[in-house]
Structure 1
Amino acid sequence: MKKNRWIILIASMIINMCIGSAYAWSVFQNPLISLFGWSTTDTSLAFTLSLSLVPVAMISAGKIQDRYGPKFVTMAGGLVFGIGLFLTSRITTLMGLYLSYGLLGGFGIGMIYTCMVGNTIKWFPDKKGLAGGLIAMGFGLGAIVFAPLGVNLIHQFGVLNTFAIFGVVFSLIIIMASCFLDAPHKMTSTSSTVVDHSLSAQAMIKKPQFYLLWILYAIGCIGGLMIIGHASPIVQSKVGLSSQEAAFIVSFLGLSNSLGRVFWGSVSDRFGRLVTLTTTYVVAASCLLALSLLSSLPIVVMAIGGIALCFGGYLGIMPSICAECFGSKHMGINYGLLFTAYGVAAFVGPRLASFIRDMNAGSYDLAFGVVMGLNILGLFIAGWMLLDSLKKSKPMSVNPA
């Protein structure tokens, strides 16, 4: 188990990097607009649809993965994802884009992601935070790795042919890497603090704790996705950078997002999940306060980097919290239900920032203040859960897992 689980982790990270290429959507958007003459709003809806389908697929595929293991579901997801990208290379209408990239692509991502998170957590009962963080980091690295590759391929072969190339290559990589996946036959742990409650999805949604965690997840993701979706115009408006200069800040944001998944996950293994989660809301609220009041370049860069770091942390920590609160047996479907908070945040965060900016002459300061208030609410909820857990001596919060 000690040897094989690391091979499974590496294979899972490679697979997640492939589906993480979805975060490189901005590389494809403008070429599609230039080719077909579509509006930015209409074209970007494909990306929104793709993100919104991820938690839906996670719930349905997660149940199958929990019962039959990750290999078959991941291979099927790789085919669906690859076919979606390949069919995107044949589109001529917006509806075709929505069905191929949005529907098939998003559903394939969800099928795969639930297996990567749910199965890996089961293999690492003693290092849930580290394993969850590395898996989440693999997804985050997808955009960093494949965005520049996509730019080069678009320049050489055109945007539609690039979709075809990615579709074929990603399907092959995912299917081959899936051969190394397997579910643990016996749930063991080297840590005496790990307890597997093994609640079904029906039992989980009856627990108030599920809804509190859902709210915390949504709050954290709203701020992170707001910054990710508006990073370039934010730094341009706050400190007067050009679009080319702002692109470097966006790359830094992606790196912070990826590193945050491993950093906070590892910290939670050492100091406890809720202690770490509470800390992220303090950091995020402080960074949002700095963004709303200050305009110097170093502070703005550090602030958006801090928010991205915390956003990555939520994606790295929440799988571990889900496993420790509700057990690992039904991790696939349970985390899929919790992950719907991300889907809601994907709609709310960027649109909230756009609405407030349009109502305030292009300024994001009020948006920062509103989301800071949400993070303060998250701080109180997480702090209350931490104190309640300390009173009850729950291992999730009192001791590192």
Structure 2
Amino acid sequence: SWIIDSYAGSLGMLYVGSAIGGIGVGCVYATCVNSALKWFPDKRGLAVGLTAGGYGAGSAVTILPIANMIHSSGYQAAFFWFGLLQGTIILIAAFFLRAPQKDQVKASTKVLQSRRDYTLKEALQTPVFWVMMVMFICTVSGGLMAVAQLGVIAHDLGVKEAPISLFGITMAALPFALMLDRVMNGISRPLFGFVSDHIGREATMFIAFTFEGLGILMLSRFGHDPIMFLILSGLVFLAWGEVYSLFSATSADTFGTKHAAKIYGVLYCAKGVAALLVPLGNLLMEATGTWATVLYICATMDLIAAFCA
């Protein structure tokens, strides 16, 4: 995908490369998560959290190298060499993946897990699947809105270019927040996954979704201060990133692991549905003249998901 993008001479070719990249990411992500679910049934939250954490934190590691290569050699070189690097690593790592043999792993004694393996059709016929789907859409919407519009929100709050000195680092508020948010996004997945292995998925969801909702509410209220903008955006991403570990683990606990990849694959479509809501946020902001209404709606959706948990 990235190599195609490096040679793209038209918008259509860029779309083709992006589509192939999306398929590739989905295949790699689903395979790795499914493998983690099967190998570590007693620590599913942590295992999937670490797997998904690499997906989230990996961008934090590559931001500066990619930016430097774009500055020095152009975006075409960055697409080509980083595409070649990640493709090679993924191909080599794939040879080490395999499913566990029967009775090779033991079930969890702390988290209730289904003894039956549901098919995709059977899972779709259960009310709990659709409750999880609605919860997934509600929680992911706010996070995707923040990812897509954080720069615009920072500009409207008047903190985009405000300098912040923290931990010995001085940066403008927006790039500082973007860097911190990626780190917090990566940390949240194994952190809340680990917690869910000990206190249960539902209790962990309630805590995380409540934190996300309150964080978004406070961001709309106190985000005009650069330090508060940085801290609260970090809190929102800390409480948002865990959805990718909690829902996959909960899906496997509820429906078994035999068809986990297919079932979670359909459940993961909630992210696509949530992404379609992001443009609606733009329209609502233009209609009201402020991001406060959009943030209040996102916070309400998070609190609804927390209640459903």
Establish whether TM, by shorter chain, passes 0.5: yes
> Where do 1:91-240 residues align within 5 Å?
91-100=8-17, 102-187=18-103, 188-192=105-109, 193-240=112-159
Aligned-pair Cα RMSD in Å: 1.6
Specify every segment of 5 or more residues in structure 2 that has no aligned partner in the other structure, as ranges. Answer: 163-171
Aligned match for 1:369, one of 296, 300, 303? 296
Equivalent AA in structure 2 for residue 378 of structure 1: A
Q: CA deviation at 1:239?
A: 4.4
Specify every segment of 5 or more residues in structure 1 that has no aligned partner in the other structure, as ranges. Answer: 1-83, 383-401
Aligned match for 1:277, one of 205, 224, 229? 205
TM-score by length of 1: 0.71
Equivalent position SS for 1:89: helix
- Distance in 2 (alpha carbons) for counterparts of 1:161 and 1:322: 40
Match in the other structure for 1:256? 184
Whether 1:335 aligns to 2:264 is: yes
Equivalent position SS for 2:242: helix
Encode CA deviations 1:272-330: one digit per residue, 9 max, x unaligned. 00011111221112112212323333333332222111211111211110000100111
Query: Taking CA–CA contacts closer than 8 Å with sequence separation of 6 or more, which of the two structures ends up with the larger relative contact order?
Result: 2
- Distance in 1 (alpha carbons) for counterparts of 2:45 and 2:84: 33
- Distance in 1 (alpha carbons) for counterparts of 2:145 and 2:203: 25
Q: How many residues align?
A: 296
- Distance in 2 (alpha carbons) for counterparts of 1:373 and 1:214: 17
Which deviates more from structure 2 when the two are superposed, residues 283-292 or residues 134-143?
283-292
Aligned match for 1:352, one of 273, 280, 292? 280
Match in the other structure for 1:379? 306
Which has the larger share of helix? 1
- Distance in 2 (alpha carbons) for counterparts of 1:191 and 1:91: 49
Q: CA deviation at 1:190?
A: 5.0
Whether 1:89 aligns to 2:6 is: yes
Match in the other structure for 1:14? none
Match in the other structure for 1:324? 253
Match in the other structure for 1:24? none
Equivalent AA in structure 2 for residue 317 of structure 1: L
Q: Kindly report structure 1 stretches of 4+ aligned residues shifted beyond 6 Å.
A: none
Q: CA deviation at 1:263?
A: 1.1
Equivalent position SS for 2:241: helix
